């Protein structure tokens, strides 16, 4: 069967970023796709997405190749025409996006470029498809590559954080709640508090990848096609895991964009907290940021500012804005295709372009920073941060915790300004007043002295997930096991796509 007309009717529109869209007529004439009725007017430039579509130029060429191979295999286009089209696509790729003819979008431009090289028979490339399913496939194809890059960045950052944590399992530092001294912890424990969310970010991105990696191709405008197409075959050639079954769903839905942008926004929000911690710690002289991640003032020569981290902190707002823009664009859209969807893809590109680089910078700043262990050790006891440990010791000796809390709170209230911890005598007096008997009836003085020491306070908190060196070592070991499993999951998906694209290249070579 040879049929050079587009399956969609004249009311077809197309997506962007891409693709913009307008009426799509028959592929007649030797040099262009005719849209005479809609070819002029001031709105043409407003609707055009050709420049923005450079991002999916390579994706569109691959989609065109897979579709053409399938058409030939199904006998819808003869082998000679398929070979000419595939050869023209190679020529278009070699010329580059900048040499495409003027058009509303990259899809129309590539098709016109093929027709210019092949003649009217080049228009057979668009048989049994619409720009609607074409662009949805291109976006998924390109986004898949971006998710892979994001995943590589995340798993790489996790490995760096685990290495840094391993170097600081016994480096005691102050822990905070409400930005006030709370309890002593370790640098490793603090680092692991960010590696954990990154592990969950990996899971979210893998889930987004699996949602994205489904092919809409073959759905045509939204109502399918009368041609005997093999949707599974084009999905296989392009490295997709399967197809979006319902043809209307295939061209209309952009939930995969939401899922990806949401995952990256979640990551960015966590990252802003990490950056804020590092900015605060730098200001408190807990650490010194490497010169590679800092800058100085234009007027104050003594300044060393953690500027890169402040940009990282702002990235969360950029990602959150992108997600809100995307959700607002999609809100209330009727089925099936609407040109609003042209504006749905740029927010996802914003997220994939801004968040992974911010993660690289934040991770680099953290792992190259010099921790001032003497300052950290001195600060670890500030603000009677071992108070909870004393209350815990009393509770472990049989005093109801709320009563123990009252004893320690009474002492804390009467501490002199600048006094980081009470004397044993002060604890004794408070206990006598509340418990009616000496504190040493419950805890001996030597144990109390040890409990007031931040290092010992950390060591006693050896519950699962706690800051004690042994507990942290277990967390690192378990985190490395999770990381290895996630690396395998990413590699498995990467290899599957690479194999599929190699097969596509081989199939194309058989024709050209």
For the annotated catalytic residues, the residue numbers are: 178, 297
**Rounded distance, CA 485 to CA 469, Å?**
25
**Rounded distance, CA 144 to CA 140, Å?**
6
β-pair partners for 295 = 305
CB-based contact 326:139 (threshold 8 Å): no
**Rounded distance, CA 418 to CA 402, Å?**
26
Q: Which two tokens stand for residue 362?
A: 């934040």
**Rounded distance, CA 97 to CA 40, Å?**
23
CB-based contact 215:240 (threshold 8 Å): yes
**Rounded distance, CA 160 to CA 497, Å?**
27
Gyration radius of the chain's alpha carbons: 31
CB-based contact 198:400 (threshold 8 Å): no
CA-to-CA dists, residue 458 to 6, 165, 186, 423, angstroms: 71, 16, 8, 20
CB-based contact 195:162 (threshold 8 Å): yes
Task: Report the half-sphere exposure of 219 (CA within 13 A, side-chain side).
Answer: 28
CB-based contact 199:483 (threshold 8 Å): yes
Roughly how many angstroms between the first and final C-alpha of the chain, as a whole number?
Answer: 21
Q: What is the largest CA-CA distance in the chain?
A: 102
- Secondary structure string (H, E, C) spanning 93-162: HHHCHHHCCCCCCHHHHHHHHHHHHHCHHHHHHHCCCCHHHHHHHHHHHHHHHHHHHHHHHHHHHHHHHH
Nearest CA among 20, 381, 8 for reference residue 183: 381
**Rounded distance, CA 211 to CA 260, Å?**
9
**Rounded distance, CA 193 to CA 301, Å?**
35
**Rounded distance, CA 237 to CA 496, Å?**
11
Sign of the CA dihedral with 501 first, then 506, 511, and 512 last:
positive
Going by their DSSP bridges, the two strands 214-215 and 242-243 should be labelled as: parallel
């Amino acid at each position: 069967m040879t049929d050079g007309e587009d399956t969609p009717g004249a009311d077809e529109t197309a997506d962007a970023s891409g693709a913009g869209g307008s009426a799509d007529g028959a592929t007649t004439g030797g040099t262009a796709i005719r849209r005479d009725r809609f070819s002029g007017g001031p709105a043409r430039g407003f609707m055009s997405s050709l420049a923005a579509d450079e991002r999916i130029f390579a994706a569109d060429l691959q989609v065109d190749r897979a579709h053409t191979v399938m058409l030939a295999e199904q006998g819808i286009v003869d082998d000679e025409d398929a070979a000419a089209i595939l050869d023209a696509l190679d020529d278009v790729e070699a010329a580059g996006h900048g040499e495409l003819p003027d058009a509303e979008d990259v899809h129309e431009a590539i098709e016109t470029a093929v027709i210019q090289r092949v003649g009217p028979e080049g228009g057979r490339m668009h048989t049994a498809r619409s720009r609607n399913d074409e662009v949805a496939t291109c976006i998924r194809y390109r986004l898949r590559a971006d998710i892979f890059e994001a995943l590589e960045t995340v798993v790489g950052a996790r490995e760096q954080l685990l290495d840094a944590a391993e170097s600081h399992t016994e480096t005691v530092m102050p822990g905070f709640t409400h930005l006030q001294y709370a309890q002593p912890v370790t640098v490793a424990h603090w680092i692991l508090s960010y590696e954990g969310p990154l592990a969950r970010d990996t899971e979210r991105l893998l889930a987004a990848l699996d949602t994205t990696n489904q092919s809409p191709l073959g759905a045509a405008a939204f109502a399918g096609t009368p041609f005997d197409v093999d949707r599974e075959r084009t999905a296989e050639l392009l490295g997709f895991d399967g197809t979006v079954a319902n043809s209307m769903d295939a061209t209309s839905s952009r939930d995969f964009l939401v899922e990806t942008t949401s995952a990256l926004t979640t990551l960015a929000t966590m990252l802003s907290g990490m950056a804020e911690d590092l900015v605060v710690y730098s200001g408190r002289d807990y650490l010194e940021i490497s010169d590679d991640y800092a800058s100085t003032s234009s007027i104050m020569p003594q300044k060393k500012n953690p500027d890169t981290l402040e940009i990282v902190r702002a990235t969360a707002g950029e990602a959150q804005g992108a997600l809100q823009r995307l959700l607002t664009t999609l809100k209330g859209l009727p089925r099936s295709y609407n040109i609003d969807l042209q504006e749905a893809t740029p927010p996802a590109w914003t997220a994939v372009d801004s968040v992974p680089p911010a993660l690289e910078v934040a991770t680099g700043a953290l792992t190259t920073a010099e921790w001032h262990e003497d300052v950290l050790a001195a600060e670890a006891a500030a603000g009677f941060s071992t108070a909870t440990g004393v209350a815990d010791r009393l509770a472990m000796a049989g005093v109801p915790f709320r009563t123990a809390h009252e004893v320690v709170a009474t002492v804390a209230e009467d501490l002199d300004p600048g006094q980081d911890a009470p004397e044993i005598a002060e604890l004794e007096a408070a206990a006598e007043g509340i418990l009616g008997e000496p504190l040493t009836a419950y805890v001996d003085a030597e144990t109390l002295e040890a409990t007031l020491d931040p290092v010992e306070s950390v060591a006693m908190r050896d519950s699962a997930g706690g800051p004690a060196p042994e507990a942290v070592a277990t967390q690192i070991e378990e985190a490395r096991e999770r990381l290895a499993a996630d690396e395998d999951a990413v590699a498995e998906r990467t290899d599957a796509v690479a194999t599929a694209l190699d097969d596509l290249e081989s199939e194309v070579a058989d024709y050209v």
